[in-house]
Amino acid sequence: MTPDQYFPLLTTPAGTIRHAEAVPLTQLAAQFGTPTYVYSKAALVAAYQAYASALAGKRATIHYAMKTNSNLSLLRLFGELGAGFDIVSGGELQRVIAAGCKTDKVVFSGVGKTADEMRLALQHGIKCFNLESVSELDRLNAVAASMGKIAPISVRVNPDVDAKTHPYISTGLKENKFGVAFEDALPLYRKAAALPNIQVIGIDCHIGSQLTEISPYLDALDKVLDLVAALRAENIVLHHLDLGGGLGIRYQDETPPAASELISAILQRLEVRGFGDLELAFEPGRSLVGNAGILLTKVEYLKHNSAKNFAVVDAAMNDLMRPAMYEAFHDMVAVQPRNGGSSGSAGNPQSYDIVGPVCESGDWLGRNREFDLAEGDLIAILSAGAYGMTMASNYNTRGRAAEVLVDGEQVTLIRRRETVEDLLRAEQEI
């Protein structure tokens, strides 16, 4: 499979310069500089519609896990398409509000919600707090009582299934910090049901990220449904079942199921188990944005030593942390063909390590990549729409990259490049 086939954003009209939708990437680099994140509206909409159409006619909500990419313009787009949001901080709730999106379809996940964050979420009438511990339940009840409010809750259970993914992004095993152990869930629900300022409305789980198989979801679902049944027997009736996010994308040679395949398998299992009437919720992140974004970067220097060829580019680990953090693979393509080749590798291809300028040996973006490169060339780093910009930092006093959204021939700057003045302000204003 070539990138053009799995990466809907990139096109190569007439085998020449790479485009994002109808816009040449060379034009974007000239206009906005590099490094720049480029997103495709068509790819974002298509990824969302894959979920929405699979759930058409069902009582179901899609909560975009916005930690994946929380640019206000993307939130607005997903909000307009009908999405709610899965947040993990008060700051993310403020982004939802700043984007002009509704807060009544927000679910609040995370193990460490502060009292201030709970207060903010209660003020704005979110749909549900996804609780992760007894202490959190007690705190939420107290905060809600102090405001004269009732907090809607779901318990995040840890179904102890192996998501068969990278240990850093697996969350549904006993040794992970996430969720409430299965055997502790029932007593926690009993306690929640008896608290005056808590309303039990749901149950949720999220077993990991970059899942490429359906079976762990079904294993988790079976366990969660056992619990739903046990709760029903005690007259604790749940209105919704939230299966989290986690569906993987193709970075290299993975073959994750399509959203429609995953959802139809889940719907079928619910039907078989007699829970066809339960309202569903999903919290997809990566699968909505990952392959709708690239990071556009320029080759500053080519450097050769006896062991290696290095291409030093102007993007770095502070812009895209995933390779340094998880040894993640991001495919890369040359933006302009050299020597008449359409792939950019027709002349004198060599194996390069693609590295950034940050002073860390861990600052690499790709290893042993075949490229025919010259200084000044542009490279598109693929599958960078998820956990790219949101994990970016200012390490080495580097301003964060610009972000642009492409819609056909139309280009919108959706975040300007950060300046050094932006970075210094918080220290100079004191």
Ligand X SMILES: *Cc1c(COP(=O)(O)O)cnc(C)c1O
154 versus 297: smaller Cβ distance to ligand X = 154
**Checking phi first, is residue 397 left (phi over 0); if not, alpha (psi -120 to 50) or beta?**
left
The C-alpha angle with vertex 37 and arms to 31 and 40, in degrees rounded to 5, equals 95
- 387 annotated to a ligand binding site: yes
CA distances from residue 122 to 100, 148, 149 in whole angstroms, order as listed:
18, 10, 7
Our finding on whether 383 is near ligand X (CB under 6 A) is no
- 183 annotated to a ligand binding site: no
Phi/psi for 54 (5° steps) reads -65, -25
- 290 annotated to a ligand binding site: no
* Secondary structure (3-state) at 114: coil
The bridge status of strand 84-87 relative to strand 60-65 is parallel
158 versus 345: smaller Cβ distance to ligand X = 158
Whether the CB-CB separation of 360 and 324 falls below 8 Å is answered with: yes
Candidates 65, 332, 384, 401: give the one binding ligand X (CB under 6 A): 65
Other C-beta atoms lying within 10 Å of the C-beta of residue 119: 16
Candidates 84, 246, 349, 366: give the one binding ligand X (CB under 6 A): 246
86 versus 377: smaller Cβ distance to ligand X = 86
Whether the CB-CB separation of 98 and 316 falls below 8 Å is answered with: no
Whether the CB-CB separation of 365 and 313 falls below 8 Å is answered with: yes
Q: Restricting to residues 144-183, name those near ligand X by CB under 6 A.
A: none
159 versus 344: smaller Cβ distance to ligand X = 159
Candidates 34, 36, 68, 383: give the one binding ligand X (CB under 6 A): 68
The footprint of ligand X on this chain (CB under 6 A) covers a number of residues equal to: 16
Which of the stretches 39-47, 65-73, 358-366, 408-416 binds ligand X when contact is defined by CB under 6 A? 65-73
CB of 387 to ligand X, least distance (A): 7
Closest CA to 296 of 382, 399, 187: 382
Our finding on whether 202 is near ligand X (CB under 6 A) is no
The contact mask relative to ligand X for 276-295 (x = CB under 6 A, - = no) is: -------xxxxx--------
Burial class (CB in 10 A: 0-12, 13-18, 19+), 405: buried
CB of 57 to ligand X, least distance (A): 23
Q: H or E segment at 300?
A: strand 293-304
Residues with a known catalytic role:
359
The contact mask relative to ligand X for 86-125 (x = CB under 6 A, - = no) is: x----------------------x----------------
List residues near ligand X by CB under 6 A. Answer: 65, 67-68, 86, 109, 206, 209, 244-247, 283-287
